[in-house]
Amino acid sequence: MMRIVLLGAPGSGKGTQAQRLQAKYGVPQVSSGDLLREAVAQGTELGLKAKSVMDAGQLVSDDIVLGLIRQRLSRPDAAKGFILDGFPRNIDQANSLHALLEDLGQPLDAVLLLDVRHSTLMERLAGRRICPKCGTVYNVHSMAPGATGCSKDGAELFQRPDDKEAVIGKRLEVYEQQTRPLVQHYAKLNLLRTVAGEGELEDVFQRMESAALTRGAPAGKVKVRARKVARSKSSKRKTAAKKPSTKSQAPAKRKSVSGSAKSKSKSKVARRKAVPAKAKAKPASKKAQRKAKAPAKRPARKK
Ligand code: AMP
């Protein structure tokens, strides 16, 4: 049994982590965003109402969303638990959810907050691409260069209309104003567990799992931090230092030589030369090996 709410800003990874929890524990992901997008795709009256609000990055009215959630949680598969993703999104919705779950006799076990920096959210949202067939979420920043299709089924990936840069800012603003107060709300109810949401997907998932499965701890005080914080931070620092260095260090070197365009091309040539030189080292050492073996053959020839 797992009855949890995933809390976090747009782009914090709620959907991805919910899908993984669903696959592993057989508890359905209940995403208010997905339910709304289905209604939009079906062209229902409700869907038509919701679409313009969603495209503007605003919140759809509480009664519409609550109706969808109530319907979904009443389905048989939700009797064994649920992973709420994107709901509740404001205090009124949280209170309605509380009442609904009391009616269903299914109180919440925990609320997991995915903690992700603003800059990461921006990058994730702007780069997010989705497979229309299987729903797998990709990011242009981590996809193979030139790839535009789903690696599982080849379907052409698409960008959600509300992931367009103009709307992203609005959605994050709405989160800050309306949804963030839920952090305090659930902390007071001793249900909140904060999970470090950056780093390798698999590591985040493990932290989510342990936060979801922890029982009986003073929930408000549970913080599941990244285990390898020190390492990942330092490796990030390394990559951060490396990245600009290829752009900024190289020109600095050129400048120190002569600062001219010629020296630029010279240093390029030098770099190009350096690579084959390294590559040649291997055959050379093989030659050396053959030479080393040769004396053993010579005495044989003499015979
Ligand atoms: P999401 O897929 O969770 O990012 O949601 C996409 C959009 O659907 C949001 O920007 C809102 O317009 C709408 N939406 C999703 N969940 C809710 C909710 N709980 N309350 C109001 N609007 C929602």
Which residue has the least CA distance to atom 6 on ligand 1? 33
Tell me which of 49, 70, 160, 264 is the catalytic residue: 160
**Atom nearest to 53 CA in ligand 1:** 12
* Residue 10, in any domain of the structure: yes
CA distance 241 to 110: 39
One pLDDT digit (tens) per residue for the chain, 303 residues: 899 999 999 999 999 999 999 999 999 999 999 999 999 999 999 999 999 999 999 999 999 999 999 999 999 999 999 999 999 999 999 999 999 999 999 999 999 999 999 999 999 999 999 999 998 899 999 998 889 999 999 999 999 999 999 999 999 999 999 999 999 999 999 999 999 999 999 999 999 999 999 865 554 455 667 654 444 444 444 333 333 333 333 333 332 323 333 333 333 333 333 333 333 333 444 444 444 444 433 333 332
pLDDT for position 285: 45
pLDDT for position 269: 35
Taking only the tens place, the pLDDT of each residue in 238-283 is 333 333 333 333 333 332 323 333 333 333 333 333 333 333 333 4
- Whether the CB of 57 sits within 6 Å of ligand 1: yes
* Residue 237, in any domain of the structure: no
- How many distinct structural domains can be found in the chain? 3
pLDDT for position 172: 97
Q: Are residues 138 and 280 in the same domain?
A: no
**Atom nearest to 162 CA in ligand 1:** 10
Q: Which of 210, 227, 244 is the last residue of a domain?
A: 227
Q: How far is CA 290 from CA 228, 284, 293, 296, 299, in A?
A: 47, 10, 5, 10, 15
- Whether the CB of 192 sits within 6 Å of ligand 1: no
CA distance 133 to 150: 9
pLDDT for position 146: 87
* Residue 191, in any domain of the structure: yes
- Whether the CB of 86 sits within 6 Å of ligand 1: yes
Q: Are residues 153 and 167 in the same domain?
A: no
Tell me which of 20, 72, 128, 207 is the catalytic residue: 128
Cis bond leading into 88, ω under 30°? yes
- Whether the CB of 84 sits within 6 Å of ligand 1: no
* Residue 281, domain extent: 258-303
CATH number, residue 71: 3.40.50.300
pLDDT for position 66: 97
pLDDT for position 271: 38
**Atom nearest to 61 CA in ligand 1:** 21
Q: Are residues 32 and 151 in the same domain?
A: no
Taking only the tens place, the pLDDT of each residue in 71-95 is 999 999 999 999 999 999 999 999 9
pLDDT for position 268: 37
- Both tokens of 268, joined, read 């390029």
Q: Are residues 26 and 72 in the same domain?
A: yes
Tell me which of 171, 193, 207, 254 is the catalytic residue: 171
pLDDT for position 255: 29
Confirm whether 89 is a catalytic residue. yes
Q: Are 214 and 109 in contact (CB under 8 A)?
A: no
Confirm whether 14 is a catalytic residue. yes
Q: Are residues 107 and 221 in the same domain?
A: yes
Evaluate if pTM is beyond 0.75.
no
- Whether the CB of 162 sits within 6 Å of ligand 1: yes
* Residue 44, in any domain of the structure: yes
- Whether the CB of 83 sits within 6 Å of ligand 1: no
Which residue has the least CA distance to atom 2 on ligand 1? 33
- Whether the CB of 207 sits within 6 Å of ligand 1: no
Q: Are residues 143 and 287 in the same domain?
A: no
pLDDT for position 227: 57
* Residue 139, in any domain of the structure: yes
